Amino acid sequence: MGGRLKIALLLAPALVVIGILFAGGLVSAVVQSVGYMPAIGQTRVSLDAYREVLSGGDFLDSFLLTVYIAGVSTAVSTVLAVLAAMTLRRSSGRLSAVVFQLPITIPHLLAAVGIALVVSQTGLGARLAAALGLIGQPREFPALLYDRYSAGIILTYVWKEVPFVTLVVLAALQGVAGELEDVARTLGASAWQRFWYVVFPVISPGIIAASLIVFAFTFGAFEVPYLLGKTY
C-alpha cells in the first residue's frame, strides 16, 4: 500500500498540471461554442452555432469523408504493418530496419509535400511512367491528388503510419514463444494456422492499440487533407 501511495504522490504534480490544462481548454471550448465570450461582449448563451453546423449537409459530408479517410488509412496501414513486422522479424539485416523506420522521423506536412511531388500528374512518377512508355504523356497519369477518393491523402498516411504500427507489432512479437510455433509446425499446422492461432492472439492487443492511435490521429489531422484533398 505504501508503494502505491508513493507512486501516486510522485505522479500527482504532473497529473494535476495536465488535468488543469486539458480540462481548462475543454471547458473554455465548450463555453465559447455556446456563444459565451465576455471578452468580446458576447454573454448570451445559445445553441445557434450547433444548429447551423448540424443542419447543413456539408457537415455530414465532411464527417463521412473524414471517417472514410481515417478508416481506410488505418486498415491498410495495419495490414501492411503486420506483414512487414512478420518479415522483419525473420530478417537479420539492420539496414533494412533502419531504412524502414525513416518515415517516422519525417513530419506529416513534409510527407504530404513529398507525396505531391511524386504522384502528381506533373510529378516524378508521371514523368518516369512517360519516359518508360507506360503512358503517352505525363498528364495521362492517374489523378491521385485532389480526387474524390482522397487517394493522395490515404497514400500519405499509409506511408507515414505503417512504420509506426510495425514497431508496435514487432515489440508485441517479442512475447511470442518460438517453441509454440515449432510445436504447431510439428503438429502439421500451416503457416496461416500458426499465425492465426499462435501469433495473432499475442500481438492483437498491440495491433488494436496502434490502430486506435492511427485512427484518432488521422481523424483529427488537418494539414494533409488541406494540402492534398479536394476543395469543396
Question: Using an 8 Å Cβ cutoff, are 160 and 195 in contact?
Answer: no
Residues 116 and 34 in one domain: no
Residues 116 and 217 in one domain: yes
Look up cell 484533398; give the residue.
Answer: 229
Contacts of 175 (CB under 8 A, 6+ apart): 202, 203
Here the CATH number for the domain that contains residue 153 is: 1.10.3720.10
Residues 170 and 194 in one domain: yes
State how many domains the chain has: 2
Residues 96 and 22 in one domain: no
Q: How many residues does the chain have?
A: 232
Residues 3 and 71 in one domain: no
Residues 127 and 14 in one domain: no
Residue ending a domain, among 30, 53, 76, is 53
Residues 109 and 170 in one domain: yes
Question: Which among 33, 163, 183 has a CA at the least distance from the CA of 85?
Answer: 163
Q: 45 lies in which domain range?
A: 1-53
Residues 67 and 98 in one domain: yes
Per-residue pLDDT of the chain (232 residues; tens, 9 = 90+): 567 788 888 888 888 888 888 888 888 888 888 888 888 888 888 888 888 888 877 888 888 999 999 999 999 999 999 998 888 877 666 666 676 778 888 899 999 999 999 988 888 888 898 888 888 888 888 888 888 889 999 999 999 999 999 989 988 888 776 677 778 888 888 888 888 888 888 899 999 999 999 999 999 999 999 999 877 6
